[in-house]
Chains A and B, each alone.
Chain A
Amino acid sequence: MKPIGKHSLLGASGEISDFQEILHYLDELILYDNMWDDGNSLGPKEVHSYLTRVMYNRRNKFNPLWNSLVLGGVKNGQKYLGTVSMIGVNFEDNHVATGFGNHLARPILRQEWHENLSFEDGVRLLEKCMRVLLYRDRSAVNKLQIAKITEDGVTISQPYSLKTYWEFSAFENPAQGAIGSW
């Protein structure tokens, strides 16, 4: 996850080297934006559109940037959250996820998200989703960071881990009800 400009934050999953390439493009974009020095600045919506163009154009050349991007930000009181996939599919929503998160986390968010979540409640909700992902996604590790974006800027927490419990009886013999299959 990296802050972009004054107003946005970009998170990605997938090929990290491609993410670094995207950050390089965005550095240049933000630099030119700052060089205008005219009181206008690129907000999260503009950055999201720009990234959509980049991802889609690469996909058209059969040379995609292998990432799923999540772009969030706040500008002039307006909150924004959007996502772009490696093939250029983009949309905004109240909650987005990449990869397994779409299958495991979003149903939880659909049930429990509402307009007036406080920051603490939001973090608790995200941790709940991350815990499910930790248990169920074999490629997950128990280390996460939470980023907060407000009108005043972006802060990213230090990495921390979630409390887990692996002694559930169902975890003991996972293949019990499925002998002969994987």
Chain B
Amino acid sequence: MFRNQYDTDVTTWSPAGRLFQVEYAMEAVKQGSAAIGLRSKTHVVLGCVNKANSELSSHQKKIFKVDDHIGVAIAGLTADGRVLSRYMRNECINYSFTYESPLPVGRLVVQLADKAQVCTQRSWKRPYGVGLLVAGLDESGAHLYYNCPSGNYFEYQAFAIGSRSQAAKTYLERRFENFTDSSRDDLVKDAITAIRETLQGETLKSSICTIAVVGVGEPFHVLDQGTVQQIIDTFEIAAEQEDPATEPDAATGQEAATEQGTAADQGGSTDEGAAPMDI
């Protein structure tokens, strides 16, 4: 994307009908470290790559529990992500208090999307620079949604966001048809494998990734390092049998050219329900 005279304000349209500031916000998501999500009929698994400022610092928290039945993984400006998580937690707890019942994740996601939309239509605000993978349960089962800075949201069977997410998406695209009936453990294994795809050859260890699960009868929780490392160890044993799955995607990963081309990418392949594309 190149600088142009229509990209200063979020409230300025370009002649081609684009809001550049919003698109730049979506770029911020692509620069964040990867987060992936996948779901079966009864469980949703979120995973993310831990990024730390330096070897001395702790890594950034990218997965947040919103309620017993909802969790979120973020990519992009983590500060924005924290604020939105707080909003989501508030909404959930208020609903629980009034109705003594969990807030259906589909409704929370719409509220979140409307909140993001407001920031694309006020001259004194800026769009949130964070993409959220929302995992949750409602009456109809397990759901995974992706909330964009643009205020759009889509439901997915599996998805990946952030840097080098294309590698994970390719892996997920190959396997997603089996996810609906996957067992919880297989889903977790697939999540860790997808994370490994984004690492591009870096060794996969439990300190580099965080995995969280939510399911029918299983409240949202982050798996502890030990459990994750055990699963990783089972991979290494089977590693010789696996085909090398990674593709070099340094170029495609950034998807620099037509940003909306990427929306088509994401929407067309792993889209679960028919959802309107980003412009």
Give the B-binding residues of A (Cβ under 8 A): 36, 38-43, 45-46, 48-50, 53, 76
Q: Establish whether residues A40 and B138, one from each chain, have CB atoms under 8 Å apart when the complex forms.
A: yes
Query: Do residues A40 and B98 form an inter-chain contact, with CB atoms below 8 A?
Result: no
Size bin of chain B's contact surface:
10 to 19
Q: Are A49 and B98 in contact (CB under 8 A)?
A: yes
What residue in chain B is nearest A39 (Cβ atoms)? B140
Select the stretch in B101-109, B203-211, B219-227, B231-239 that faces chain A. B101-109
- Please report the C-alpha to C-alpha distance between residue A58 and residue B133 in the assembled complex, in whole angstroms: 40
Q: Quick one: which of A40, A43, A45 contacts B106, CB cutoff 8 A?
A: A40
Q: Is B202 located at the chain interface by the 8 A CB criterion?
A: no
Q: Which residues of A contact B99 (CB under 8 A)?
A: 42, 45-46, 49-50
Separation of A40 and B104 alpha carbons in the complex (Å): 7
Residues of B within 8 A of A43 (CB): 101
- Determine if A38 and B104 form an interchain contact, defined as CB atoms under 8 angstroms apart: yes
Known: A36-B107, A38-B106, A40-B106. A46 touches B139 (CB 8 A): no
B100: Cβ under 8 A from any A Cβ: yes
Residues in B whose Cβ lies below 8 Å from that of A48: 100
User: Is A38 within 8 A of B101, CB to CB?
Assistant: no
8 contacts between A and B (CB under 8 A): A36-B107, A38-B106, A40-B106, A40-B138, A41-B139, A45-B101, A48-B100, A53-B98
Chain A residues whose C-beta falls within 8 Å of the C-beta of B139 in the assembled complex = 39-41, 76
**Is A38 within 8 A of B98, CB to CB?**
no
Residues of the A chain whose Cβ atoms lie less than 8 Å from the Cβ of B107: 36, 38, 40
Across-interface contacts of A36 in B (CB, < 8 A): 106-107, 110
Please name 9 further chain A to chain B contacts, defined as beta carbons within 8 Å, in addition to the given A40-B106, A40-B138, A41-B139, sorted by A numbering.
Answer: A36-B106, A38-B104, A38-B106, A39-B138, A45-B99, A46-B101, A48-B100, A49-B98, A76-B139
Chain A residues within an 8 Å CB radius of B98: 49-50, 53
Give me the 7 closest cross-chain CB pairs, A-B, nearest first.
A49-B100, A46-B99, A40-B104, A46-B101, A38-B106, A40-B139, A49-B99
Separation of A76 and B141 alpha carbons in the complex (Å): 14
Q: Please name all residues of chain A whose beta carbon is closer than 8 Å to the beta carbon of B138 when the two chains form the complex.
A: 39-40
CB neighbours of B104 from chain A (8 A): 38, 40
Q: Which residue of B lies closest to A46 (CB)?
A: B99
Smallest CB gap from A38: residue in B: B106
A71 to B139: give the CA distance in the assembly, Å.
22
Q: In the complex, what residue of chain A is closest to B106 when comparing beta carbons?
A: A38
Complex CA gap A53/B104 in Å reads 20
State how many angstroms separate the Cβ of A55 from the closest Cβ of chain B: 13
CA–CA, A176 to B18, complex, Å? 92
For B100, what are the chain A residues with a Cβ–Cβ distance below 8 Å? 45-46, 48-49
Which partner residue on chain A sits nearest B100 by CB separation? A49
How far is B100's CA from A109's CA once the two chains are assembled, in angstroms?
28
Please measure, in the bound complex, the distance between the C-alpha atom of A78 and the C-alpha atom of B275, giving whole angstroms: 33
CA A39 to CA B143, docked complex, whole Å = 13
Residue of B nearest to A43 (CB): B101
The CA of A46 and the CA of B139, in the complex, are separated in Å by 13
Q: How far is the CB of A116 from chain B (nearest CB, A)?
A: 28
Set of chain B residues within 8 Å of A40, measured between Cβ atoms: 104, 106-107, 138-140
Give CA–CA (A154, B139) in the complex, Å: 21
Q: Which residues of A contact B97 (CB under 8 A)?
A: 53
CA distance A42 to B98 in the complex (A): 12
- Encoded as 1 (CB less than 8 Å from any A CB) or 0, chain B from 114 to 149 comes to 000000000000000000000000111000000000
Cβ–Cβ < 8 Å partners of A76 in chain B: 139
- Which of these, B101, B110, B140, contacts A49 with CB under 8 Å? B101
Q: Which residues of A contact B140 (CB under 8 A)?
A: 39-40
Which of chain A's residues has its CB closest to B104's CB?
Answer: A40
The answer for the CA separation of A41 and B110 in the assembled complex, in Å, is 16
Q: Shortest beta-carbon distance, A182 to chain B, in Å? A: 46
In the complex, residue of chain B having the shortest beta-carbon distance to the beta carbon of A48? B100
Q: How far is the CA of A38 from the CA of B107 in the complex (A)?
A: 8
A1 to B54, CA, bound (A): 66
A48, B140: Cα distance in complex, Å: 22
Q: How far is the CB of A25 from chain B (nearest CB, A)?
A: 12
